[in-house]
Amino acid sequence: MITAVDTSVLLDVFTDDREHLDRSRDALGDSIARGRVMAYEVVWAEVVAFFPDSAAALDNGGLSFEPMSVESALAAGTAWTEYQHSGGSRKQVIADFLIGAHAVGSADRLLT
């Protein structure tokens, strides 16, 4: 099973988040035990923005780096356009659309 992991889960673990740490750590560990866990480049960039020294931890923590495909990028753009037409208020493509589209195209599930 391939699991795409969202930034929020990794930040919960790296920050020892009081509310979500146990759940996020357990879910991440379970995902690693079940197969491959990957993080798309936006996730890596967001985590490293908070923790500049975390690149080594990401690389050695059982996560694989997975670049986005053209198809996933196009799907994210389409989803964002639909969001805008349905009254969405954000004016730029946000990371959540990219992460979600990447997971749909490259993973069996998204851990968020």
Per-residue pLDDT at 81 exceeds 70: yes
C-beta of residue 2 within 8 angstroms of C-beta of residue 63: no
Q: Determine the average pLDDT of the residues in 68-93.
A: 86
The model's pTM is 0.81
Pair of tokens at residue 34: 């079940």
Per-residue pLDDT at 57 exceeds 70: no
Question: Which architecture characterizes domain 2-111 according to CATH?
Answer: 3-Layer(aba) Sandwich (3.40)
Q: Per-residue confidence at 46, pLDDT binned at 50, 70, 90?
A: confident
66, containing H or E segment: strand 63-66
Q: Determine the average pLDDT of the residues in 62-86.
A: 88
For the stretch 18-36, pLDDT in tens is 999 999 999 999 999 999 9
